[in-house]
Amino acid sequence: MMQVVVLASESRYRAELLSRLCIDFIKMRPDIDESPYPKENAQQLCQRLARQKAHTVRDQLHANNSDEHNDQVAEHLIIASDQMAFGANQLLGKPGSVDAALAQLEAISGQQVIFYTALNILNSRTSQDYVAMDITTVRLRKLDRQTIRRYVERELPLDCAGSFKAECLGITLFDSISSEDPTGLIGLPLIKVCDGLRQFGMQLP
């Protein structure tokens, strides 16, 4: 049975991370509503969205393949991930603008931010799920407005929850990072991805 790895994301960050494993994969965009449910916390939200992304892509693959019950059809291993950040007593989304990034960094300056990165790997043929969660804690140093503005203008982290890129210049903003997997903070926890793919029969490396 041929296995095809599918990344359920168009994120360039996740694609770059998955490329580190030296495996071939295709990308598909899961079209879902990412609005939180009432009283849903950050961990619950990213777990639900990761699962929904994987199952939405599975349904798209089945819809595109009229012979899905044929034994010769490829087995797709669909990798979906979602990340939520919580700090300053609120969910921290992608800022989207310079002003929002400045405000977000001012709000979390000198504070702790927790990143929840949920992983869901789905076997398209068996509907078996591999589910995992990476939790990373970042403590920012106390930042003055000039430092914050200088950072945002240089790196423009407008598509990153928390308004920083830990893999780049954002590391200068931190006092500490606590994590079992440094790739989780970037958006795809590769240690857990490898564990899941091995459980589905892939050989890594």
Which residue shows structure tokens 């990034």?
101
What pLDDT digit, counting tens, does each position of 116-166 carry?
999 999 999 999 999 999 999 999 999 999 999 999 999 999 999 999 999
How many Å apart are CA 133 and CA 79, to the nearest integer? 13
pTM for this predicted structure: 0.91
How many Å apart are CA 42 and CA 92, to the nearest integer? 9
What pLDDT digit, counting tens, does each position of 27-66 carry?
999 999 999 999 999 999 999 999 999 999 999 998 887 5
Bond into 95 cis (ω within 30):
no
Domain ranges of the chain: 3-199
Which residue shows structure tokens 């892509």?
57
100 pLDDT band, cuts 50/70/90, is very high
How many Å apart are CA 147 and CA 159, to the nearest integer? 19
The string of DSSP codes covering the chain is --EEEEES---HHHHHHHHTT---EEE-------PPPTT--HHHHHHHHHHHHHHHHHHHHHHH-TTTTSTTSPEEEEEEEEEEEEETTEEE----SHHHHHHHHHHHTTSEEEEEEEEEEEETTT--EEEEEEEEEEEEPP--HHHHHHHHHHH--TTSTTS--TTTGGGGGEEEEE-S-HHHHHT--HHHHHHHHHHTT----
Residue 82 annotated to the active site: yes
Q: Which among 16, 8, 11, 47 is positioned nearest to 190, based on CA atoms? A: 16
Looking at the predicted structure, is the pLDDT value of residue 72 above 60?
no
Looking at the predicted structure, is the pLDDT value of residue 71 above 70?
no
Which residue shows structure tokens 């503005």?
149
Q: State which CATH number among 1.10.1040.10, 3.90.950.10, 3.30.390.10, 3.30.465.10 fits the domain covering 3-199.
A: 3.90.950.10
Which residue out of 82, 99, 129, 144 is catalytically annotated? 82
